[in-house]
Chains A and B, each alone.
Chain A
Amino acid sequence: MSFLELQNITKIYPNGTKAVNETSLNIDNGEFVVFVGPSGCGKSTLLRMIAGLEDITNGEISLDGNVINNIDPSERDVAMVFQNYALYPHMSVFNNMAYGLKNRGISKEEINNKVNDVAKLLEIDQLLTRKPSMLSGGQRQRVAMGRAIVRNPKIFLFDEPLSNLDAKLRNQMRLEIKRLQRQMGVTSIFVTHDQTEAMTLGDRIVVINNGVVEQVGTPKEIYSKPNTKFVAEFIGSPQMNLFNCKIENGIAHIADMRINLNNSTNIDDAILGIRPDDILISDNGQHTCVANLVEYLGSDMIIYSKIGDQEFSCKLSSKINLNAGDTFKFDISNTLVHLFDNTNGSRV
């Protein structure tokens, strides 16, 4: 039995919106799981149901062997870090962190020790007497983390906690969250719409779209073998190229380009996907295209081009000398392509 089990969880809001549909998921103790998906896909709702902040319309959630559907949020022993941190504005940093402990009837001395330890861990021990309004974004983030950590809960829930930080701080906090989670070994669920965060943080990633889990897997699995067209599109930057094509006897027809897939499939309405960095550019490539636009990113560059009327991009080392308007030759290896059936979006 897993540590956290979701069984056929459904959430229907009173206005009839189905936010989460028949979702089942098992999470092991100590695992770091990331829920990723576009805005409004139901990932936050799912998290809030685990926290107990939303009623569960159907299904069962059990934590550490106990069904927690009807248990009050305060009794569930979960801690949550909110997107806007939800720090208590009228309390000092110390009291922000101590509040949950006080409500548990823990002795003053113990609270002092715990808060001070966690504050040291997060390097906010100099800020304990300040009010949240006197802290910077990054410091607030740390306090919010500290408030969760100090309670030593069974699960950490993170609801897009990094989205209010600037890019540099976000990267730094991301590493820190990962380090802390490893160090403490507490089961964590992290919700984000940012696929980079998902890839870097998660032991496992749960890709959610329209209230339905599209795929669960390690970052590597998700990236290298996306189960659906949606996952293929959503994970990876720059986005995977998806070509509408027709496949006859294992040969994909994209405009006048032919790619031999080395099998014998026949699909009328197929999608052939290939990651921009899997397109191999070489002087003796089979296919020729014109670079319409070249984006220089330092070590890499991205070339935008067209096959027929379908746009695609490829990513390559910027050491290659290629300018907008030049023609280039490339190969698409059949071992690197992803094939999807366009009628239902599933992988072939």
Chain B
Amino acid sequence: MKFKPLEILTHIILILGVLLMVLPIWFSFATSTHDNVSIMTEGMKFFLGESFSQNYNEVLNEKGGWSEEVTAARMFVNSFIMALGIATLKVVISAMSAYALVYFRFKLAVPIFWLIFITLLVPLEVRIFPSYKIVSDLGLTNTYTGLILPLVASATATFFFRQFYKTIPDELLESAKLDGANSWRFFIDFLLPLSKTMLAAMFIFMFVYGYSQYLWPLIMTTDEKYWTVVMGMKIIFTENYEGVALPRTGERFAYIILSMLPPVLVVVILQRWFIKGLIQTEK
């Protein structure tokens, strides 16, 4: 096979892009497998070292925090629960509200849609104190419900679902009606399967969004049992920071690598749906 110059050029650009994204992660991973002394003396590593199991074992099982109660493993579980809850509820609620907005003719559907859309201008960080006040009045601080609930509405996802539903031909609804599908069945049997690539995409975005929440869990949780990975990244291992001991750089990199795994897994698993949807054009 002969390559044209343009093809070679585009491939070089693509390869550079891949390297640009992969190399820092590789550096982090390679460094996370070395002991702290060699990192301190020799800096970031490109090749794998011998302290892999020791570093990762320490990170997962060492008790951290002020009260030394929480482990990184616990924080991963917390983050996973939070992200999963946020992503699932966001997708479900957005899909349903978009369904209501598109298919049910009620007055004010358009103003309501724009009202939802405007909330994009008021992200959690802006309304953090009112939100905290409400959640704390409800007695939900230091609970998973409190972590998840204030984040489950999504204007973005509602918007995307609405746009998608609008592209579905009316005949499909009419035909389904004649086939005896009520509005609930139409949603379950038609809209959900038809929008599964959309659902997967939204789930990925929202999972990453939930997983990378920092400010909200920081304010919400005083009990270390509910700490999340992103918060923990800052708090864990600080005890040695100003001491005489070496900074535990190896463990920190191990922590970072581990913290990337859940979102990566979600993307990898759901990407199959993505690609399936792209290959079979079903409309």
- Chain A nearest CB from B278 CB (Å) reads 13
- Does B68 count as interface, using CB distance less than 8 angstroms? no
**Do A133 and B171 have beta carbons less than 8 Å apart?**
no
- Does B179 count as interface, using CB distance less than 8 angstroms? yes
In the complex, what residues of A have CB within 8 A of residue B172's CB?
86, 88
Known: A86-B169, A86-B171. A103 touches B178 (CB 8 A): no
- Does A25 count as interface, using CB distance less than 8 angstroms? no
Residues B12-50 near A (CB distance < 8 A) = none
**Do B175 and A82 have beta carbons less than 8 Å apart?**
yes
Of B52-60, B188-196, B225-233, the one touching chain A: B188-196
Q: Is the interface of B mostly helix, strand, loop or mixed?
A: helix
In the complex, what residues of B have CB within 8 A of residue A133's CB?
280-282
In the complex, what residues of A have CB within 8 A of residue B189's CB?
99
- Does B272 count as interface, using CB distance less than 8 angstroms? no
Chain B contact patch, size range: 20 to 34
Residues 292-314 of A, flagged 1 when their CB comes within 8 A of B and 0 if not, give 00000000000000000000000
- Chain A nearest CB from B184 CB (Å) reads 12
**Do A73 and B177 have beta carbons less than 8 Å apart?**
yes
**Do B181 and A51 have beta carbons less than 8 Å apart?**
no
* CA distance in complex: A82, B172 (Å): 9
* CA distance in complex: A187, B178 (Å): 17
- Of B177, B180, B282, which is within 8 A of A90 by CB? B282
In the complex, what residues of A have CB within 8 A of residue B176's CB?
88, 99
**Do B181 and A103 have beta carbons less than 8 Å apart?**
yes
* CA distance in complex: A12, B172 (Å): 24
Known: A84-B169, A103-B185, A131-B280. A90 touches B194 (CB 8 A): yes
Known: A74-B181, A103-B181. A82 touches B174 (CB 8 A): yes
Known: A86-B172, A131-B280, A133-B280. A73 touches B194 (CB 8 A): no
* CA distance in complex: A90, B280 (Å): 10
Chain A contact patch, size range: 20 to 34
- Does B283 count as interface, using CB distance less than 8 angstroms? yes
**Do A88 and B169 have beta carbons less than 8 Å apart?**
no
- Does A79 count as interface, using CB distance less than 8 angstroms? yes
Residues 265-283 of B, flagged 1 when their CB comes within 8 A of A and 0 if not, give 0000000000000001111
In the complex, what residues of A have CB within 8 A of residue B171's CB?
82-84, 86
Known: A89-B283, A103-B185, A133-B281. A51 touches B194 (CB 8 A): no
* CA distance in complex: A82, B189 (Å): 20
Residues B160-217 near A (CB distance < 8 A) = 169, 171-172, 174-182, 185, 189-190, 193-194
- Chain A nearest CB from B200 CB (Å) reads 14
**Do A86 and B282 have beta carbons less than 8 Å apart?**
no
**Do B282 and A131 have beta carbons less than 8 Å apart?**
yes
In the complex, what residues of B have CB within 8 A of residue A84's CB?
169, 171
Instruction: Please name 16 pairs of A and B residues whose Cβ atoms are closer than 8 Å in the assembled complex, sorted by A.
Output: A51-B174, A53-B178, A73-B177, A73-B178, A74-B179, A74-B181, A82-B171, A86-B174, A88-B176, A90-B194, A99-B181, A99-B189, A100-B180, A131-B280, A133-B281, A147-B179
8 extra A-B contacts, CB within 8 A, seeds A74-B180, A88-B190:
A80-B178, A88-B175, A103-B185, A131-B280, A131-B282, A133-B280, A147-B179, A151-B179
